[in-house]
Amino acid sequence: MGSFTDTVAAVTGSGSGIGRTTAIEFADRGASVLVTDVDVDGGEETVAQIEDAGGEARFLEVDVTDPDATQEMVDVAVEAYGRLDYAFNNAGIGGAQTPVTEYDSDDWRSVIDVNLVGVFNCMKPEIAQMQTQDGGGVVVNNSSILGQVGFEASSGYVAAKHGVLGLTKTAALENGETGVRVNAVCPGFIETPLLESGGITSDPEMRKQIEGLHAMNRLGTPQEVADAVCWLCDDEASFVTGEALGVEGGYLSR
């Protein structure tokens, strides 16, 4: 894979998990990285890890449900580094685990606002900036295997992640000739704090059950997703747009 030297990346939800690992991977490949999250301590820790390894990064607190904040994210990246080459729209929440008939309306709106509206709020200024600069850019959205199939008791999350793929494909069509590529990754169950907080990785029986849903009979790692994101941003993927790239250990093969 080629170097990202002299490029700029912005990663939402990069205070932990997949976002942190991807931000670090961008920096390791030579990109300057704008780390963003609502978790200030986590975001600053990500920056510290990048800087300790000799990379360039800065942190900005961003709530992706606020379109003014996502516009500021792009403005800060351009003011600090002159451009925005890559954007990984990763921020997300899990939401309630309950059937549709019992799903609280406020919980539903929260999941849709972060996981779907938040991606739209990011894409709008990111793509607008990339359209104006030489070389265009690449947007990668974090969807999920649950953006392609259903999953009991997760209607808010499933609906939002399906919507992310619709946004991704639509923006890819709109930008086929602008120099901006738009793709999504669809991770399976990945070993992250989000899974731990949901009790999946801390409950041995539940963990075994979830692992067994994947053909590889294991959970994925944040690094495996980060590598896929960076490949989609690389020139090696120059003819790839509108793609929903599974990083899911065979989950969707069943």
DSSP string for residues in 43-74: HHHHHHHHHHTT-EEEEEE--TT-HHHHHHHH
Average pLDDT across the chain, whole number: 96
CATH number 3.40.50.720 given to 8-189+221-238: yes
For residues 131-141, average pLDDT = 98
Domain ranges of the chain: 8-189+221-238
- DSSP state, residue 252: G
- pLDDT tens track for 166-213: 999 999 999 999 999 999 999 999 998 877 776 777 788 989 999 999
What is the per-residue pLDDT for 237?
Answer: 98
What is the per-residue pLDDT for 201?
Answer: 75
For residues 217-238, average pLDDT = 98
To the nearest whole percent, how much of the chain has pLDDT over 90? 93
Catalytic entry in 81, 86, 103, 157: 157
Compute the distance between CA of residue 47 and CA of residue 214 in angstroms, rounded to an integer.
33
Does 157 participate in catalysis according to the annotation?
Answer: yes
Compute the distance between CA of residue 186 and CA of residue 34 in angstroms, rounded to an integer.
23
Model confidence at 1: pLDDT above 80: no
Model confidence at 219: pLDDT above 90: yes
Compute the distance between CA of residue 217 and CA of residue 225 in angstroms, rounded to an integer.
17
Label residue 210 left, alpha or beta by phi (over 0 means left) and psi (-120 to 50 means alpha). Answer: alpha
Q: How far apart are the first and last CA of the chain?
A: 31
